[in-house]
Amino acid sequence: MSTKEMSRLQTVTVPSAGSSSFTRYMVMVQKELLELMRSFKLLWVPLVFILLGIMQPVSTYFMPVILEKAGSLPEGTVIEIPTPLGTEVLAQTLQQFGTLGVLVLVLVCMGTVSGERINGSASLILVKPISVLSYICSKWTAIVMLTWGSFIAGYLASWYYTGLLIGDAPMDKVFNSLLIYGLWLTFVATITLLFSSLLRSPAAAAFSALGGAVILSILTGLFPKALGWSPGALSGFAYQAAVSGIENNSRFGWSILITMICIAASICLSATVLRRSSAVE
């Protein structure tokens, strides 16, 4: 382990064995947040989401001007693009988060566990009175805080500029779609953490998590009736909540329940895999 990694670990005081599990867990959460701050992820990840959120309403508003200035249209061409509703722009913003946003999120989370296994800091932490479950849960908590904070900042920025340039969107639709899509991003971050625990390569963890999320979304889109209860349906439900409202409440309820079960199971599986791996030897 490098001297730099050693100095970072020394800045966090690990409680004694007599301390409560919750106290040790909170100290580990502080350690993870400190790592995110030192790596500037707490700064640039929200900025990326804010940029993605602003891009959609701005590009929609200026699209006629952009096409006119492109210079590839015949002379005298009249461009008339109907102005979309504010809720439709928000749904398009969610699609932006579903591509570039998910990619950024996976790249940020891919080395959460595997990176520390490679540099040896995981084995150093786990020989102290820190349980593997507390170790995994602290990382998951920090990732979820970063995910939700970035997504809320980006989505609210999109909502603000949509109201400024396009038209107002009802706050209840904004709130409902935010909660639903935030749960989908939480699921993506959790399976990234799982693959980071299963695989020693951060790149392999990122590829597996991103591929799994994409495949799940595609299969759910191809077979909406058979897989309408899966976590992959959450993004579609978020679009519906933003535009018109949830069409199938039964499938939506099952999708929420299954997603939460998958998140809890992934956390437990991550701890089990790490407990049996060489990271704790």
pLDDT tens digits, residue range 241-275? Answer: 998 888 888 889 999 999 999 999 999 999 998 88
Q: Is 200 helix (H, G, I), strand (E, B) or coil?
A: coil
Burial class (CB in 10 A: 0-12, 13-18, 19+), 190: buried
Asked whether the beta carbons of 243 and 87 are under 8 A apart, the reply is yes
Q: How far is CA 3 from CA 7, 9, 117, 121, 128, in A?
A: 6, 10, 16, 11, 19
pTM: 0.88
Phi, psi for 77 (deg, rounded to 5) = -70, 130
Would you kindly state where each structural domain of the chain is located, as residue ranges? 32-280
Q: What is the 3-state secondary structure (H, E, C) of 61-125?
A: HCHHHHHHHCCCCCCCCCCCCCCCCHHHHHHHHHHHHHHHHHHHHHHHHCCCCHHHHHHCHHHHH
For residues 185 and 173, give the distance between their C-alpha atoms in angstroms, rounded to a whole number.
18
For residues 58 and 95, give the distance between their C-alpha atoms in angstroms, rounded to a whole number.
15
10 pLDDT more than 60? no
For residues 66 and 56, give the distance between their C-alpha atoms in angstroms, rounded to a whole number.
14
More confident residue, 8 or 276: 276
- For the residues 28-53, what does the mean pLDDT come to? 92
CA 274-275-278 angle, to 5 degrees, is 70
| Per-residue pLDDT tens over the stretch 165-223 | 888 888 989 999 999 999 999 999 999 999 998 888 889 999 999 999 999 999 988 88
> Using the 8-state DSSP alphabet, how is residue 3 labeled?
H
Q: Residue 221's closest CA among 203, 200, 207, 239?
A: 239
Whole-number pLDDT of residue 3: 46
| Per-residue pLDDT tens over the stretch 73-98 | 666 666 667 778 888 889 989 988 98
Q: Is 173 helix (H, G, I), strand (E, B) or coil?
A: helix
> Using the 8-state DSSP alphabet, how is residue 179 labeled?
H
